[in-house]
Amino acid sequence: MEILIDIDDPIPLFTQLISQIKEAVIKGELKPGTQLPSIRQLANDLELNSKTVAKAYRHLERDSVIQTRGYRGTFVHPDAVANSAVDLNALVLSKIGEVIEACRDAGATDSEIRIAFGDAMNQRPLRRN
Amino acid sequence: MSATLSMSATLAIFFVTFLCQIILISIYYPTKIRRRILHVIDTYPPSEYPKLYPKPLDAYAQIKSVHRMRFYRNLNYVIAALGLMILSAMLASGYRPDPKGGDEIFVLIYFFVQVCPFMYLVMGEWKQGKLLRASFVANKRKADLNPRRLFDFIPPIYLVTAILLYIAWLIFYVAPRGEFSSWQTEVYVTIILITGLNIAYGVLIARYLHGKKTNPYQSSKDRMTEVKFIVRSMVFTSIAASIFLMATQAVDQYALEIIDPPLMSLYLQLVSFFGIGSFLQDVKVESLDFDVYKE
């Protein structure tokens, strides 16, 4: 199975990687338990920075689409098909959308909402994915 | 300890192996390589496969219709003729190999002369790869999602054999030399050289397995073929080197240095076979994907 990255596409490269791997899982091209290439191999093959591939793998691991089994490598998660259908970005967008609507209904201006959003983010400790 | 081998038998073995070396490295392989390159240029013309030709087209047109790599062919013929002249002179002068050994150096020197035209082609191939990389401007990049694991390309038994033979050689080489303190510089140099050679093979394998593509247009399938060739070639060359080194060691042990020249010639032919021969056999032009060079 091949992966195709468009470097001119406005969609970030790591997002392209994530969506294509998820798509391949949903279509059954990547079966649960299948081994994926190492970060170094994929980064070299796509001529990308290995941090970009590592970031994509981290996100996929967080979403339980892939799992790292120590030195043996990275594999497609047993529940990858179900987990690939979950779009966290869409979830975040919808939740924030609801909050924005509620704040606007209460009379807050967009500028106040932006400042409040920044403050709320700053007040919470940073979580590393 | 010593063993005897008749002079006439030794000479016969040497002449036959040296003749094989001349034919294999200066006639057989160069002919196949030349045919292969000309076949590619004739079958995949610049009009249909422009990406395969990063140099100005005149350079390829010259090869295709004017000189047809005659210089390369003739250079190999001259080297083969030189080898045959050396062989004839040996026969005519009643040559007798030095029983204490040392004549194998001439076999090695002649081999270096033989590989010069081949190195010239390798340089050209390297320059071609550099130009291909420079001309590669694709904004879409493809990669295979299959991991390239070492044992996908070679059965573990061969790699284990290579490692065990290296260890066996090390023991075989070091054992008769007593304690560390009594070792001469030559012993350290040999150990470092052979270990370094094996490490270099390992690094090359790792580079091909996980490194960047040398040819950016190469398809995934062709890359797998190339990696398989490199992995096998390096492992088999390491096995051959260990066996050769142990054989020369045994020859010294049994005072049979007289057979060092044919042994060296045989080893060099094996190295050529694992390098050039298996490339021609495993990486067939017909199986390569040339569509990647189309516009």
Interface contact B142-A4, CB threshold 8 A: yes
Which distant-in-sequence residues (6+ apart) come within 8 Å of B104 by Cβ? B260, B261, B263, B264, B265
Give the model's pLDDT for residue B240.
Answer: 95
Give whole-number Cα distances, B228 to B110, B151, B241, B250, B270, in Å. Answer: 30, 10, 20, 33, 18
Query: What mean pLDDT is predicted for residues B270-281?
Result: 92
Q: Are residues A27 and A78 in the same domain?
A: yes
Check B145 against A24: CB less than 8 A apart: yes
Convert B37-64 into a string of H (helix), E (strand) and C (coil). HHHHHHHCCCCCCHHHCCCCHHHHHHHH
Decide: helix, strand or coil at residue B149: coil
Q: What is residue B73's predicted lDDT score, i.e. its pLDDT?
A: 92
Residue A129 lies in a domain: no
Chain A within 8 Å of B139 (Cβ-Cβ)? Answer: yes
> Is there a domain that residue A25 lies in?
yes
Instruction: Assess whether A72 and A110 both reside in one domain.
Output: no
Which residue intervals of chain B are DSSP H helices?
7-23, 29-43, 57-61, 70-93, 104-135, 150-153, 156-174, 185-210, 220-253, 260-272, 278-282
Residues A23 and A79 in one domain: yes
Q: Are residues A43 and A102 in the same domain?
A: no
B148 touches chain A (CB under 8 A): yes
- 8 Å CB contact of A24 and B139: no
The domain in which residue A102 lies consists of 88-121
Residue of B nearest to A40 (CA): B210
**H or E element in which residue A35 lies:** strand A35-36
Task: Give B177's pLDDT tier (boundaries 50, 70, 90).
Answer: confident
Residues A17 and A78 in one domain: yes
ipTM of the assembly?
A: 0.73
pTM for the predicted model, two decimal places? 0.81
pLDDT attached to residue B1: 47
Residue B6 predicted with pLDDT over 80: no
pLDDT, tens digit (0-9, with 9 covering 90-100), for A58-83: 999 998 999 998 888 999 999 988 88
The number of domains in chain A is 2
CB contact under 8 A, A21 and B145: yes
A10 has pLDDT over 80: yes
Distance from CA of A128 to the nearest CA of B (A): 27
Residues A80 and A98 in one domain: no
Nearest-Cα distance to chain A for B216, in Å, is 9
Residues A58, A73 within the same domain:
yes
Domain CATH number, residue A57: 1.10.10.10
- A50 and A68 housed in the same domain: yes
Evaluate whether residue A127 is within a structural domain.
no
A19 lies in the same domain as A78: yes
Which residue from B minimizes the CA distance to A38?
A: B147
Whether residue A8 is contained in a domain is answered as no
- Asked whether residue A95 falls in the same domain as residue A76, the answer is no
Question: Residue A127: what pLDDT?
Answer: 64
B214 touches chain A (CB under 8 A): no
Q: How far is CA B30 from CA A104, B70, B295, in A?
A: 80, 11, 31
The band of B94, judged by pLDDT with boundaries at 50, 70 and 90, is confident
Please list every residue in chain A whose beta carbon sits closer than 8 Å to the beta carbon of residue B150.
Answer: none
Contacting residues of B for A6, CB less than 8 Å apart: 139-140
CA–CA distance, A27 with A9 (Å, rounded to integer): 23
- pLDDT of B106: 92
Q: B5 pLDDT exceeds 70?
A: no
Asked if residue A103 is part of any domain, the answer here is yes
| Domain contains A7 | no
| Residue A128 forms part of a structural domain | no
Contact B141 A47 (CB under 8 A): yes
pLDDT band per the 50, 70, 90 thresholds, residue A128: low
A35 vs B contacts (CB less than 8 Å): 147
Model confidence pLDDT, tens digit, residues A20-57: 999 999 999 999 999 999 999 999 999 899 999 999 99
Tell me what pLDDT residue A93 has. 87
Give yes or no: residues A63 and A100 share one domain: no
Q: Are residues A47 and A72 in the same domain?
A: yes
Contact yes or no for B140 and A5 at CB 8 A: yes
> What is residue B142's predicted lDDT score, i.e. its pLDDT?
87
Residue B82 near residue B113 (C-beta atoms within 8 A): yes
pLDDT digits (tens, 9 = 90+) for B28-81: 999 999 999 999 988 998 888 988 888 877 777 777 777 778 889 999 999 999
Q: How confident is the model at residue B101 (pLDDT cuts 50, 70, 90)?
A: confident
Task: With respect to residue A27, please indicate whether it lies within any of the assigned structural domains.
Answer: yes
